[in-house]
Structure 1
Amino acid sequence: MSDTASEIAPEALADRIESRRRVVLLDVRNREEVGEWRIEGPSIESVNVPYMKFLSAQATGGIEELVDLEESYVVVCPRGEASAEVADMLTDAGVDAVNLAGGMHGWARVYRRQRIAGDATAATVYQYHRPASGCLGYLVVSGEEAFVVDPLRVFADRYAADAEAEGASVEGVLDTHVHADHVSGLRHVAGATGATAYLSETAADRGVTYEVETVADGDRIDLGDHTVEVRSTPGHTTGAVSLLVDDLLLSGDSLFLDGAPRPDLQKGDESAPEFARTLHETLTERLAPLPDETVVAPGHVPPGTEPADDSTYTARLGDLRERLSVFSESRETFVERVLGSMGAPPANFERIIAANLGRETVADDDAFELELGPNNCAVTAD
């Protein structure tokens, strides 16, 4: 080959997607892999041509027949190796192509941060977003103290560094529930910073094997000049909680911007109807009465979701009450709809739960591999 294609870093691709610039992805994985997990976004066009087709075409001199010669491509594979070969082939053929460095594994290491609250009287809150899975986490800063909510283990070092840049130290870290889609960074953040690790009493009762301080409905955690109020919001799991900080509701996996969480990951299909009924009560009786101006910041968004005008993944509770059917439908109608639209569970969710309870020890690399792919913690969008 006479030319070598250039690369685009995953962070640079994220910048391009967030700026709503058109991106044409040439995904050279097999169709099953693409169907399970892909890079998504409102400005993305995706073309799937498996790697083996390019090898065959290279042998017969027909590469030009597989692509649009006038198009510009970002080529994607699992780890950036096969896609580098394809990008080189295309470059040799005169096609504008760049390789996504690290492939989907590199994409899974992108972690974005956006300020979503903070003025002279309010706490400062940062929202973290993992585009590969839609996972969201939070850093709350008040004065010289910081509080982390739903940290991811693979990014455990980020939160303390960002708090330090704000002149604060991490004093507390909390998981809103026992996660099933990603390996929690709760213990790693607490261990590295000396912060207190929090779980709800009910979550801890599921058999957590490590030391945590438990909280319950109505508890308040002091943070600088502010308090973090705990609200019990079960249904997705028995121990799920949401947090109120000023007029911001960190809803965890209890309420999403496009609907409700699935109720089957803790005890399976048999108990899902009971969990769904509890979830309906949580949404309609515990969360719906909050003021319209309450800003909901959830624990997940579907990959590819377009953010709000302020570049955050948030919405007014009043707007959610108007557009989500859960707030107007009967309990049994809600249960029937949720049970009929759960889809496939998160990959490796049983091992991830075991790791998050402390029952299984998972190395860093293995933890990263376990959680690759979509989180699938929600039912089909409302």
Structure 2
Amino acid sequence: MAVGIVTPQSLYVRIADGEELLILDVRLLEDFESWHVEGPTVTSVNIPYLDFLTEEAAPAWKKLLPADQPILVNCARGRSAQLVAEVLDRHGYEVAYLEGGMSGWSEVYAPVTVIEEPDWKLIQLNRVGKGCLSYLIHSGGTALVVDAGRHVEQYLALARAEGVSIVHVVDTHLHADHISGSVELAARTGAHYYISGSELQGSDIAHTALEDHRIWTFGAVTVCVLAIPTPGHTPGSVSLLLNNQYLLTGDTVFVGGLGRPDLGGKSREWAQLLYDTVFTTLAPLADDVLVLPAHYASRAEYHADGYVGAKLGLIRETNDALRLTDREAFVERFASESGATPPNYTEITSINRGDKQVDATRALELENGPNRCAAKHANR
């Protein structure tokens, strides 16, 4: 038998197709519990790499692995998984390993069409290994990209496939858990880059402040984009309302939670802003508005049609954070219990402000792990 190699993109396709998979993750238990490959037909087993270093006649791990089922071995970057796969191969298992490990998995982007009308289209790009979401909206041959990840070729390729030109690029806020690709994407396409001016105070990045462009249109058929100030996760966070029906909320409102207000060191002040956003700014929006966030935490937040999102009315019913209407109780909870800080967020924020540059290898290291932009007490 020979050890197989599975690419991250092909793994995504197999999971999306509903194939039953057994994944052996050989990282430490803490790393596995924090972040691993998930899917409705995926069974994950964690046995640390060190357990495979001694190949006695009856190793303990044999009791935990079925001999009659193919096994896909996974680790952080693929090297340990390859070595373990070779051990399993010598013991007669049908085995392959995930190329690039979790680092490779974190770079898979999956485009899903949310809405397609004769005159416009909204596509969600799901970075499945990170739980990061971005968007391409196009009409009349021109496109808007929202919250682009650093892999700008994904957006350029999608625009080519759709036959459109990217003319607007927006960040809903200054991201802290992943490196934005918006500035590079705007530079490579000649598009305008928009972000709230308060997010880039003191930065040299050329941008157009969203405060100065609350409403604009593009395409042969008008698509109205209304920039709504929705501070809380950051003071300059905005949401984008498309055609009064689709709300791109950034990290303000998730399907199962709210954006954490503590990353700037002003948790109580920002929690006050978050309360006003939820119970004043967004309160008049109709229940049938579809919320499309910039992040998610689990497959439970998927819509039946394959994208991540939910009607605002459903979120109001099921998200316990949106039912905590007492201001003081809301602020106290959100200011004090936001969970583990995103790793490397200070350096990532510095990069996104244009104060620092890193190469692709360092960027991959900085983005290692899941997103942690939601307050942990939100119903997730």
Is TM > 0.5 for Structure 1 vs Structure 2?
yes
RMSD, matched Cα: 1.8
Contact 1:114 1:311 in 2 (8 A): yes
Contact 1:150 1:299 in 2 (8 A): yes
Q: Which residue of 2 aligns with 1:212?
A: 207
CA displacement 1:38-85 (0-9 Å, x = unmatched): 2223333221111111111x1555263452323432110112122122
Q: Which of 149, 152, 158 is the matching residue for 2:149?
A: 152
Q: Which residue of 1 aligns with 2:34?
A: 36
Cα drift, residue 10 of structure 1? 1.1
Contact 1:75 1:98 in 2 (8 A): yes
Q: Which residue of 1 aligns with 2:262?
A: 264
Q: Is 1:243 matched up with 2:240?
A: yes
Q: Which of 328, 333, 352 is the matching residue for 1:332?
A: 328
In terms of mean alpha carbon deviation, does 132-141 or 340-349 score higher? 340-349
SS in 1 for 2:368: coil
Cα drift, residue 379 of structure 1? 1.2
CA displacement 1:318-338 (0-9 Å, x = unmatched): 111111223332122222332
Distance 1:221 1:208, change over 3 A: farther
Letter in 2 for 1:125: L
Contact 1:41 1:303 in 2 (8 A): no
Cα drift, residue 253 of structure 1? 0.4
Distance 1:236 1:217, change over 3 A: farther
How far apart in 2 are the matches of 1:84 and 1:151? 32
Q: Is 1:349 matched up with 2:324?
A: no
How far apart in 2 are the matches of 1:273 and 1:191? 37
Letter in 1 for 2:139: S
How far apart in 1 are the matches of 2:301 and 2:96? 24
How far apart in 2 are the matches of 1:244 and 1:306? 20
Distance 1:70 1:306, change over 3 A: farther
Alignment of 1:51-90 (within 5 A): 51-56=49-54, 58-59=55-56, 62=59, 64-65=62-63, 67-90=65-88
Q: Which residue of 1 aligns with 2:169?
A: 173
Letter in 1 for 2:232: G
Contact 1:303 1:374 in 2 (8 A): no
CA displacement 1:116-159 (0-9 Å, x = unmatched): 012125x3111011111100000010111101100011x11221
CA displacement 1:230-283 (0-9 Å, x = unmatched): 1100000000001011111000001000011110112x2xx2012112101101
Contact 2:255 2:301 in 1 (8 A): no
Q: Which residue of 2 aligns with 1:188?
A: 184
Q: Which residue of 2 aligns with 1:127?
A: 124
Contact 2:147 2:171 in 1 (8 A): yes
How far apart in 1 are the matches of 2:73 and 2:299? 18
Q: Which of 263, 268, 280 is the matching residue for 1:273?
A: 268
Q: Any stretches of 5+ residues in structure 1 without a counterpart? A: none
Contact 2:135 2:145 in 1 (8 A): yes
SS in 1 for 2:352: helix
Q: Which residue of 1 aligns with 2:223?
A: 226
Q: Which of 11, 22, 25 is the matching residue for 1:24?
A: 22
Contact 2:109 2:154 in 1 (8 A): no
Letter in 2 for 1:248: Y
Contact 1:253 1:300 in 2 (8 A): yes
How far apart in 2 are the matches of 1:144 and 1:109? 28
Contact 1:41 1:306 in 2 (8 A): no
In terms of mean alpha carbon deviation, does 171-180 or 222-231 score higher? 222-231
How far apart in 1 are the matches of 2:321 and 2:23? 36
Q: Is 1:4 matched up with 2:2?
A: yes
SS in 2 for 1:297: strand
Q: Which residue of 2 aligns with 1:291?
A: 286
Contact 1:72 1:97 in 2 (8 A): yes
Letter in 2 for 1:242: S
CA displacement 1:216-238 (0-9 Å, x = unmatched): 18711221132321110000000
How far apart in 2 are the matches of 1:61 and 1:326? 51
Contact 1:131 1:303 in 2 (8 A): no
Cα drift, residue 347 of structure 1? 0.9
Q: Which of 355, 360, 367 is the matching residue for 1:364?
A: 360
Cα drift, residue 88 of structure 1? 2.3
In terms of mean alpha carbon deviation, does 288-297 or 89-98 score higher? 89-98
How far apart in 2 are the matches of 1:131 and 1:103? 14
How far apart in 2 are the matches of 1:16 and 1:354? 37
Letter in 2 for 1:35: E
How far apart in 2 are the matches of 1:87 and 1:289? 56
Letter in 2 for 1:22: E
